Amino acid sequence: MSQEVRNLEPKALWNKFADLNAVPRPSKKEERVIAFMMDFGKKLGLETLKDEVGNVIIKKPATVGMENRKTIVMQSHLDMVHQKNNDTVFDFDTQGIEMYVDGDWVRAKGTTLGADNGLGVATIMAILESTDIPHPAIEALFTIDEETGMTGAMGLKGGLLEGQILLNLDTEEDDEIDIGCAGGVDVTAVAEYDEEDAPADSVGYRITVKGLNGGHSGMQIHEGLGNANKIMNRLLYSGYEDFGLQISKIKGGSLRNAIPRESVAEVIIAEMYDEAFEFDMQEIINEIKAEFKTTEPNLQIVIEKLDQVPAKVLPSMAQFYLVRALYTAHNGVYRMSADFDNLVETSNNIAKVTVGGGNLKIECLTRSSVESSKFDLANALRSAFELMGCEVTFSGSYPGWTPNPKSEILDVLTAIYEKQNGSKAHVVACHAGLECGILGQNYPGMDMISFGPTIKGAHSPDERASIASAQKYWKFVLEILANIPVK
């Protein structure tokens, strides 16, 4: 499978991507890819070091004739989001990604592809290995754990890098040049409850929400995609109000930065409501499917009887507050930017809901390009969850990246893009969390820019990278390297 990817043009880029994707690298488990990258740098005879949090830095001198140009930092993150379809058998801890070519797209078999940000990493590797590409002095920065906390960028100390310009290769539309991004904060609500015995004469059901698109909780939050946790809560709310439904377990969503695609709940109802429950719930299912027929054509909501009735359930009042808090908690776009057209300023993703065994947990990722607005929404969520009796914590807060429209490197990129493509690039700020804002805290004078090839469906098993776009992007990268400003 990976051989057909290796045969794609530009070979230097796709070969390095195939090498990288052979190494397991889920977030928080980057030991193997760190070792892989350290070995790569050392085999090239380049200065290679690992900082105290695990970021890898490889330094390469300027090519002949480029010594008078400013030193650049080329940066991408090593980790990838590990998502798979429920029916895909795959172990992200031990297996490399299984890739294949589908027309203009490179895809993975039932899992995320890792093009986010593996194509950026592969680009830098190809430049480091090259002997015929003109470039200034390069400091290659490979950060860890971008997807689940940005701890690599946060832990990078000042003074390790000397570069004056940073090229972040983590943008996912090839006609965009990013000059700003949102910050984020994790909002977590937890509570304990005393399980109750299920009443006699009960019937058990499993409710499954699946088939949703999922996707990136920053870049795609404005698309009106279905959130499995919110859809499930509608079903549970109606079942509770109309039939006294009682919840035994819920497991919804997987990662904070992925819009949840699936949720499964085990519930009970009184046996006397059995037939009416199924009929009424089917009406609600039909309504929800009609609402999402355009954005979520593959949505499935399945209600099936359990062979064995769950033994334990939530207490009635705990359930009363849970379904209301989840209904109240904001999901999706909270505010659009007043300064940039079509830019989401503030949003929230209700990413995970877990209930069972006397514990419940709700996990959100709140994003904003305005720090005060980020915490305004986070406090609204805190209030909803505290009113239901949860302990709520904020963690992993990271800042946004304030745009600099007068950036010198921006002028270079926009001129090259227009010359190569006959049209202007879209200069934007994005709602995703890029590492530039964090890196800028310890390197405040660094001129930063972000760009990359077209990647669709990031953070979901539908992730795919455009082959034609990769060729366009590679040509763009080479011209940028040849036109870095003089010192």
Instruction: Give the alpha-carbon dihedral of 125, 129, 131, 137, to 10 degrees.
Output: 60
Torsion angles phi and psi, residue 382, rounded to 5: -55, -45
Alpha carbon separation from 150 to 28, 48, 214, 406 (Å, rounded): 10, 22, 21, 27
Of the candidates 308, 320, 304, 318, the one whose C-alpha atom is nearest the C-alpha of residue 264 is 304
Identify whether the C-beta of residue 435 lies closer than 8 Å to the C-beta of residue 143: yes
Residue 171: both structure tokens together? 């943008």
Quote the Cα angle for 137-145-171, to 5°.
60
Q: Tokens 């190809």 label which residue?
A: 126
3-state class (DSSP) for residue 486: strand
Query: Is the preceding peptide bond at 453 cis, omega within 30 degrees of 0?
Result: no
Does residue 339 carry a catalytic annotation? Answer: no
CA atoms within 13 A on the CB side of 423: 6
| CA–CA distances in Å: residue 26 to residues 120, 291, 316 | 16, 35, 39
| Maximum C-alpha span of the chain | 84
Which token pair is 250? 């819920």
Task: Give the separation between CA 473 and CA 45, rounded to whole angstroms.
Answer: 27
Q: How much helix, strand and coil, in percent to the nearest 5, is found in the chain?
A: 30, 30, 40
Q: Which residues pair with 428 in a beta bridge?
A: 178
Question: 117 preceded by cis ω (within 30°)?
Answer: yes
Lookup: tokens for 19: 């090498």
DSSP string across 225-287 = ---HHHHHHHHHHHHHHHH--EEEEEEE-S-TTB----EEEEEEEEGGGHHHHHHHHHHHHHH
3 state DSSP class of 146 = coil
- The runs of H, that is alpha helices, within 388-466 are 408-421, 436-442
Choice among 146, 172, 296, 435 that is catalytic: 146
Question: Is there a catalytic annotation at residue 79?
Answer: yes
CA–CA gap between residue 117 and residue 171 (Å, rounded): 9
The one catalytic residue in 79, 147, 178, 296 is 79
- By annotation, the residues acting in catalysis are 79, 146
